[in-house]
Structure 1
Amino acid sequence: MDVYRELYRRSIAEPEAFWAEAATSVTWDRDPVRVLDSGRPPFHRWFPDAAINTCRNALDRHVEAGHGARTALIHDSPVTGTTSSVSYAQLLDVTARFAGVLRGLGVGKGDRVVISMPMVPQAVIAMLACARIGAVHSVVFGGFAAKELAVRIDDARPKVVVSASCGIEASRVIPYKPMLDEALRLAHHTPERCVILQRPQAPADLGDRDLDWDEATAAAEPADCVTVAAADPLYILYTSGTTGRPKGVVRDNGGHAVALAWSMRHIYGIDPGDVWWAASDVGWVVGHSYIVYAPLIAGATTVIYEGKPVGTPDAGAFWRVIAEHDVKALFTAPTAIRAIKKEDPEGALFAQYGVSSLRSLFLAGERLDTDTYAWATGVLGVPVVDNWWQTETGWPITAAPRGVDGVALRPGSPGVPMPGYDLRILDPAGNECAPGQDGAVVLGLPLPPGALPTLWQDDERYVASYLSQYPGYYLTGDGGHVDEDGYVFVTGRIDDVINVAGHRLSTGVIEEVVASHPDVAECAVIAVPDELKGQVPRALAVLKAGAETTPDRLEREIVAEVRGQVGAVASLKQVTVVPALPKTRSGKILRAAMRDIADGRDTPTPATVEDPAVLDALRRTLRPQP
């Protein structure tokens, strides 16, 4: 590992020299002279005197270099039975035109645009168009209900919302426009205009505020790239907070482009012209980083897949896409591989499709268990690379990078720290743990380029959420340890955010819905292990005195309400009625203790518990004796 160790050492000991060199891989409107500004800690800024345009780096520079005919994007849509491809020149043309639409609606540098769309090329175009004119986009996952969309509209305060008439799943069409209309009714902020992509499966009735995407684009004049400061925001991506209020993670333009360019080549081993598939959604951080920006900045071909490649009758959907499009590397969540393994335990479908292009499988978003790792390695015959990161970091904290010699794969570990991430394991007192000893996983400041510089218009919450517990360090919220060889092992969350199939959701958001039921006195939502999705929420409810509901009826009503207010992505299926919730003497609910019980761990009763009998009763409820 000598090559890796020297690379990592240099990134920590000489960060400015390291990232100055990495910055030569992107095209600047004004070259950086100063690499790092640490004059206002803990708010550090990368390339503070430089200027850039992210869309230029993703599109224009490749066309100008003579690669306009190269395929930029492949849209594979089994739900509509269509497949199409777009070259870099074509994607540049339609992006410039839609940027002209936004400019014509008064959107300029620093204005926000909320995007809520299905997995169609227009979602990518809308993101790039915002970047082109210096606007700040905030993409909201299309599976969220109207209330969640409204919360994000109120926080971002967009001038324009971009959406579609519908989304399409294997068995149904989901109207988006009524959901958007309801979100706008609930929101306090009112966007000036909405641009709606009309889809033939369910055209929408447009109102006075609405514009038809195709008509507006056809009439628009193309817009040129607008130069922005490297430290200016590119996007806001909302992630779950433990209070139920989402946190707006900010990503800048310059550091983001540099980090993604470095990661695409060195971590994922992707070169210009390679076909890459990140099987995620543009509404999540993987979609931002590795469906849209990283592959296009690298000059690669990115696959955007409309549909659910797992959980359908076709367990070979992944292998079909890889075989048909000559995909070199796949990025997905362990949940997907577990689902395929369940349907095709012998891997016959992989052999049937004759996949020959695949060189690597990358898994992230949740814990990779050793059985899934072993199955995928045996069936695919390629390296299965676990990597660990967060919405906040935007690119991997740890990995076994394919473009750096000497880093072997180690089952059970998501790899070693990537350049710029000064990863430490600290005990509750802030002392560094010995190799093999579990503690809190933290990252020394400054975080590397590409990581969040702050939260949207909320520096205080950024400090309180991430930087206050261990001064000088960013708290990841995960626990784990590092072995003697430097490999990181992540054991799980230490807060109240759960990870459902790679989607981070706040227990607070779900608890608000559960608590609103008229028969519920108090409640708690915890993460419980799930064979397919890694984690799913489980609600524990204490009934009001005199409540006449039955447990089955309560469960049906709450599950339906969570689906309606949070969305199906929450995956709440189980609501358990309990006589009381375990609490500390100060009244804090002992969620960590409940998670341990649900995970099957025999942990001692916390000394702070108010009534040990309540915890004992919960053990019997969550883990019934045979």
Structure 2
Amino acid sequence: MMCSLWRGSLLTLTSSLNRRVFQCCRQLGRSYNIASCMPEAVAFQGVSDHSGLYKFSVNESDRFWGAVARQRLSWISPFHTVQNCDFSQGKIKWFEGGKLNVSVNCLDRHVQTCPERVALIWERDEPGTEVKITYRQLLELTCRLGNLLKRQGVRRGDCVTIYMPPCPLAVASMLACARIGAAHNVVFAGFSSEALADRIRDAQSSTVITVNQGVRGGKVVDLKRTVDQAVQNCPSVQQVLVAMRTENTVAMTDRDVPLEEEMMKEDVVCEPVAMDSEDVLFLLYTSGSTGKPKGLVHTQAGYLLYTSLTHRYVFNYHDGDVFGCVADIGWITGHSYIVYGPLCNGGTTVLFESTPVYPNPGRYWEMVERLGINQFYGAPTAIRLLLKYGDEWVQNYNRSSLKTLGSVGEPINTEAWEWYHRVVGDGRCPVVDTWWQTETGGICIAPRPSDPEAEIVPGMAMRPFYGIKPALLDTEVVTGDGVLALCYNQYCPLNCATPLLGFFFTGDGAHRSKEGYYQIVGRLDDVINVSGHRLGTAELEDVVNQCPGVAESAAIGYSHDIKGEGECLPKTRSGKIMRRVLRKVVERNTDELGDLSTLDDPDSVHEVISGHRRLCGDGKQQ
């Protein structure tokens, strides 16, 4: 049963009221041929612009996705059916009959045409120590590691857990699993041993891949020790492959395998396994409000096609560009826009090991200058943080290589958007505020692609991507504007679907303007009821975040007015505020806080609880 949704009046959105619009005129000029932007469109009769191509993608989805899949992916066996989907039954199948190998699409076919093109730039913790890996080198690493995994007993259908920081061996581990038909389960290298153990047990992994130590922000972290503690409670684990990130020795047991040493014994050729389109590619765990983390499944063909297509067209990526996504590979953003999307497109992608402020707040922009990054993709949390340090840390460095700026993870507030555009991008780079989810695997709503001179409104995701048909739901589909539940009733090659009256229910609220643009206002439970009016917390936070002394804020509702401030906020390791925890605290329900394994600083919860109790006084709210 759908939760109660709302249609009523809403605090007017700053970015909608203030129509400060960024016009992006690309080199194509006022008239252009859509097929010159998207070659597949040449086969779509009558399609001459972006609007026509989008309509074709939702009205003729079989023809659209069939043509794109044949053009963009290398198939071992062709598919016979583009889609066999029924949201009402939870039945989702794409490219039936087709067989392919993801690693071949990401490596082999590029090695055949451009073996010495740089695939990975490993931006290590210390600036200026980057390592470049070509497609030929990455294929050799992947094949050696794939052969080693097979020698260790890993077979098709097994699931390998990877607990590593962003580094070439982590990417090779993911691709090696794909090459031999195993699924991978990448866990953010910062989770506790308990959180890691939960994910290993749920995935039933017999093999774990890790490093001796991680290096981040000038600090060394003993990752092998965390793995040792985790696997004590994981009876399925038979071996741990250990790579050496630092020169420091660590204790090795009979279960442990020295990764680099054993890899060098393997052949540089590893035959790829032909995988069905709907075979599992990877698991990725996301935490819910209660219970254990949930393992989401993404499959082979649909995921790879969608990530490559969105990477190419949302960011206007061209051959030869350097793509700089500063997420961690442990999150879906890292999977899709560090590894699979860029590599499928034959791109050069950056692996960022450090932090935005190490060794100083100019780290991102120094890296942009040194590596010549063309597309930069980061989180609003980091942008808001860097904004507070001032413009000089940005202006110290040459950013003329930048062509597109991206935002991911949460809605970006207007102040941060404008600073990002005006200061970081010198007022010339389009800012693409992207909306998507771990469940979708790829970007669903973004300002680009669009016609060349189409407007971009600050702080709005705006336009659905090809094949995406959003629907705003109350108790029925809403055709006008408003702020309601965001759902999909159009099939696109995403891999996770939860049936809800024939829709994929995203759990987010969205505003649709009279122009048809979408603005995400946050989760549906992130609302505050004031005198019968339900207000989205995102709008309130947007106003508070514009105060000079505020880097980030969280708005929550409670039954009585309480004045005061907390020293910190409970946030996940990907930078998202855990509002459900704050809500439990003010409701005095601290015994049921739910899964806290993704918390960056567990002490922050204790500080919030203590501060709330002090403000309430003697257990009664004042």
TM-score by length of 2: 0.78
**Aligned equivalent of 2:394, options 343, 347, 350:** 350
Instruction: Specify the SS of the correspondent of 1:439.
Output: strand
Structure 1: segments with no counterpart, 5+ residues? 455-465, 500-525, 545-553, 581-597, 599-612, 621-626
Residue of structure 2 in register with 1:374 after alignment: 418
1:568 corresponding residue in structure 2: 600
Secondary structure (helix, strand or coil) at the match of 1:535 reads coil
Question: Which residue of structure 1 aligns with residue 522 of structure 2?
Answer: 492
The AA in structure 2 aligned to 1:69 is: E
5 Å matches for 1:63-142? Answer: 63-65=111-113, 67-79=114-126, 82-142=129-189
Amino acid across the alignment from 2:496: P
Q: What is the rounded CA distance, in whole Å, between the counterparts of 2:86 and 2:439 in structure 1?
A: 22
Distance 2:354 2:343 in 1: 22
1:199 maps to 2:245 = yes
Q: Which amino acid aligns with 1:374?
A: E
Work out the CA distance in 1 between the residues paired with 2:463 and 2:297.
26
Q: Determine the structure 1 residue equivalent to 2:560.
A: none
Does the 8 A contact of 2:58 with 2:490 survive in 1? no
CA–CA separation in structure 2 for the residues paired with 1:209 and 1:244? 31
Which region of structure 1 is more displaced relative to structure 2, 45-54 or 79-88? 79-88
Q: Which amino acid aligns with 2:609?
A: T
Deviation at 1:170, TM superposition (A): 2.1
Q: Residues of 2 paired with 1:62 and 1:579: CA distance? A: 57
Distance in 2 between the 1:534 and 1:192 partners? 35
**Could you tell me how far 1:435 is from its partner in structure 2?**
2.8
Q: Establish whether residue 236 from structure 1 lines up as the match of residue 283 from structure 2.
A: yes
Secondary structure, aligned partner of 1:115: strand
Change over 3 Å in CA distance of 1:174–1:33 after alignment to 2: same
For the aligned residue pairs, the C-alpha RMSD in angstroms reads: 3.3
Question: Relative to 1, partners in 2 of residues 1:167 and 1:485: Cα closer, same or farther, differing over 3 Å?
Answer: same
1:269-348 equivalences under 5 Å are: 269-310=316-357, 312-344=358-390, 347-348=391-392
Shift of 1:324: 0.8
Q: Residue deviations 1:97-139, cap 9 Å, x none? A: 1111111112121111000001211111100111111110010
Residue 167 of structure 1 deviates from its aligned partner by 1.1
Given candidates 56, 59, 69, the residue that maps to 1:10 is 56
Letter in 1 for 2:403: R
Q: C-alpha separation between the residues in 2 aligned to 1:110 and 1:33?
A: 24
Name the CA distance, whole Å, in 2 between partners of 1:495 and 1:475: 14
Q: 1:421 maps to what in 2?
A: 468
Equivalents in 1 of 2:266, 2:461: separation in Å?
A: 47
Aligned match of 2:93: 45
C-alpha distance in structure 2 between counterparts of 1:103 and 1:404, whole Å: 48
Verify the 8 A CA contact 1:4 1:407 in the aligned structure 2. no
Given candidates 482, 485, 508, the residue that maps to 1:437 is: 482
Query: Per-residue deviation at 1:38?
Result: 2.8
Q: Which amino acid aligns with 2:342?
A: P
SS in 1 for 2:297: strand
SS at match of 2:50: helix
Query: CA shift at 1:26, angstroms?
Result: 1.3
TM-score norm. by structure 1 comes to 0.78
Tell me the distance in 2 between the aligned counterparts of 1:542 and 1:398: 34
Q: Deviations over 1:425-458 (max 9, x none)?
A: 111x2x1235331111111153x11x2236xxxx
How far apart are the structure 1 equivalents of 2:569 and 2:80? 47
Change (3 A) 1:80 1:98: farther
Whether the 8 Å CA contact 1:377–1:384 is kept in 2: the answer is yes
Which structure 2 residues correspond to residues 369-518 of structure 1 after superposition, within 5 A?
Answer: 369-379=413-423, 380-381=425-426, 382-402=429-449, 405-427=452-474, 429=475, 431-446=476-491, 448-449=492-493, 451-453=494-496, 466-467=498-499, 470-495=500-525
Distance 2:383 2:370 in 1: 19
TM-superposed CA distance for 1:44, in Å, is: 1.2
Residue 208 (structure 1) aligned with residue 240 (structure 2): no
Per-residue CA distance 1:589-624 (angstroms, 9 max, x = gap): xxxxxxxxx9xxxxxxxxxxxxxx99x976x5xxxx
Matched, 1:362 2:382: no
Tell me the CA shift for residue 48 of structure 1. 1.1
Q: What does residue 516 of structure 1 align with?
A: none
Q: Aligned equivalents of 1:387 and 1:150: distance in 2?
A: 32
C-alpha separation between the residues in 2 aligned to 1:570 and 1:132?
Answer: 38
- Is the contact between residue 92 and residue 495 of structure 2 (CA under 8 Å) also seen in structure 1? no
CA contact (8 A) 1:101 1:216 kept: yes
Measured in 1, the distance between the counterparts of 2:188 and 2:202 equals 16
User: Which segment is superposed worse, 281-290 or 489-498?
Assistant: 489-498
- Checking the alignment, whether the CA contact within 8 Å between 2:289 and 2:595 is kept in structure 1 is no
Highest RCO, 1 vs 2 (Cα 8 Å, sep ≥ 6): 2
Deviation at 1:221, TM superposition (A): 2.4
SS across alignment from 2:398? coil
Match of 1:219 in 2: 265
AA in 2 matched with 1:186: N
Deviation at 1:562, TM superposition (A): 9.8
Cα 1:403/1:122, change in 2 over 3 Å: farther
Q: Distance in 2 between matches of 1:421 and 1:229?
A: 24
Look up the equivalent residue of 2:108 and give its one-letter code. D
Percent of aligned pairs with the same amino acid = 32
Q: Secondary structure at the match of 1:440?
A: strand
Which stretch of the first structure deviates more once superposed, 408-417 or 388-397?
408-417
CA distance in 2, matches of 1:579, 1:264: 44
**Deviating more after overlay: 22-31 vs 406-415:** 406-415
Q: Deviations over 1:548-599 (max 9, x none)?
A: xxxxxx9xxx99x999x6552668353235999xxxxxxxxxxxxxxxxx9x
Once the 2 structures are TM-superposed, how far is the Cα of residue 328 of structure 1 from its aligned partner?
Answer: 0.7
Runs of 4+ in structure 1 deviating by more than 6 angstroms, as ranges, are 496-499, 526-530
Asked if the contact 2:51/2:451 (under 8 Å) is kept, the reply is no
Partners of 2:304 and 2:612 in 1: how far apart? 53
Say whether the 8 Å CA contact 1:271–1:299 is kept in structure 2.
no
Corresponding letter in the other structure for 1:444:
N
Counterparts of 1:364 and 1:326, CA distance in 2? 21
Q: Do the aligned partners of 1:257 and 1:297 also contact (CA within 8 Å) in 2? A: yes
Summarize the Cα distance change of 1:578–1:324 in structure 2 as closer, same or farther, 3 Å threshold: closer
Residue of structure 1 equivalent to 2:107: 59
SS of 1:186 mapped into structure 2: coil
How far, CA to CA, are the matches of 1:145 and 1:533 in structure 2? 17
Residue 353 of structure 1 aligns with an amino acid whose one-letter code is Y
Distance in 1 (alpha carbons) for counterparts of 2:127 and 2:608: 36
Rounded Cα–Cα distance in structure 2 between residues aligned with 1:543 and 1:264: 42
Change (3 A) 1:571 1:51: farther
Q: What is the alpha-carbon distance in structure 1 between the residues aligned to residue 362 and residue 100 of structure 2?
A: 42
Give the partner amino acid of 1:117: M
Cα contact 2:314–2:432 (8 A) shared by 1 = no
Alignment partners' CA distance in 1, 2:482 and 2:449: 28
Is 2:194–2:230's contact at 8 Å kept on the other side of the alignment? yes
Q: Rate the CA distance shift 1:542–1:117 in 2: closer, same or farther, 3 A.
A: same
Task: Report the Cα distance in structure 1 between the residues aligned to 2:612 and 2:106, rounded to whole angstroms.
Answer: 56
Amino acid at match of 2:600: A
For residues 81 and 570 of structure 1, do their structure 2 counterparts lie closer, same or farther at Cα, with a shift above 3 Å needed?
farther
Secondary structure, in 3 states, of the residue corresponding to 2:229?
A: helix
Structure 2 residue runs of 5 or longer lacking an equivalent are 1-29, 31-47, 528-536, 539-567
Aligned residues: 525
Distance in 2 separating the partners of 1:313 and 1:324 = 15
